[in-house]
Chain A
Amino acid sequence: NAGVTQTPKFRVLKTGQSMTLLCAQDMNHEYMYWYRQDPGMGLRLIHYSVGEGTTAKGEVPDGYNVSRLKKQNFLLGLESAAPSQTSVYFCASRRNRGLLEQYFGPGTRLTVT
């Protein structure tokens, strides 16, 4: 099992450009999450999904959109990137019952210039 994978690993964008980050999991998990990690700020939840076709806003959703068309994939989109979106983005997934352990991907380091 690959667990949670993220594509790409690194990306540099210019202000105003758009991009999509892809998260894939092969554990048949119902819940999926997108976080951003900034120095001294911990992990902040951007959006999450409790199942295929459903999404919900987290703590810092502005400037991001998400889609969950397939159970195993969760996409994070930036329509018009801003320097404030420079961050490391992590995807995570978990089961919908029992243990609440979240399994994290390796992260995507995004720089917006």
Chain B
Amino acid sequence: QQQVKQSPQSLIVQKGGISIINCAYENTAFDYFPWYQQFPGKGPALLIAIRPDVSEKKEGRFTISFNKSAKQFSLHIMDSQPGDSATYFCAASLYYGGSQGNLIFGKGTKLSVKP
């Protein structure tokens, strides 16, 4: 019930293409879904997050799509650039859960954008 399943494990995209990473969760109580970006040798950093009151959130070239009935959410990176090459983690938690608001992370997707 606490798992977040992320796919694919790795992704290679040409510069200018669209990168799509998918996640599925099991706990229907989750109501906060962030994506973290991690560059080699660095700690993860929050990229974008969504709550289930909206089906889509866009920030620049990055968009989260959320499907509550399917318990799935995805990250779309439009016009992918070599600088986007990183590992991306999806996560889920309870927004107002206090100490239960701990993030459950997916296993990560390593994105490589080829020039």
Contacts and interface: CB of A to CB of B under 8 A. Distances in A.
A50 B98 contact: yes
Interface residues of B, number: 23
Which of A90, A100, A101, A104 is the most central at the interface, judged by chain B CB atoms within 10 Å of its CB?
A: A100
Nearest to A51: B99
21 contacts: A4-B43, A31-B99, A40-B9, A40-B107, A40-B108, A42-B89, A42-B106, A44-B105, A45-B102, A48-B102, A50-B99, A90-B43, A92-B43, A100-B32, A100-B34, A100-B93, A102-B46, A104-B44, A105-B43, A107-B42, A107-B43
Contacts of B99: 31, 48, 50, 56
B58 to A, nearest CB: 18
B103 interface: yes
B43 A41 contact: no
Which of B34, B89, B95, B107 is the most central at the interface, judged by chain A CB atoms within 10 Å of its CB?
A: B107
A95 B9 CA distance: 31
A27 interface: no
Given A4-B43, A106-B43, A107-B43, A41 B107 contact: yes
Interface of A is mostly: strand
Interface of B: 6, 9, 32, 34, 41-46, 49, 89, 93, 95, 98-99, 101-103, 105-108
A44 B93 CA distance: 14
Contact of B42 (A31, A42, A106): A106
Interface string A90-113: 101000100011111111000000
A19 interface: no
Interface in A21-54: 31, 33, 40-45, 48, 50
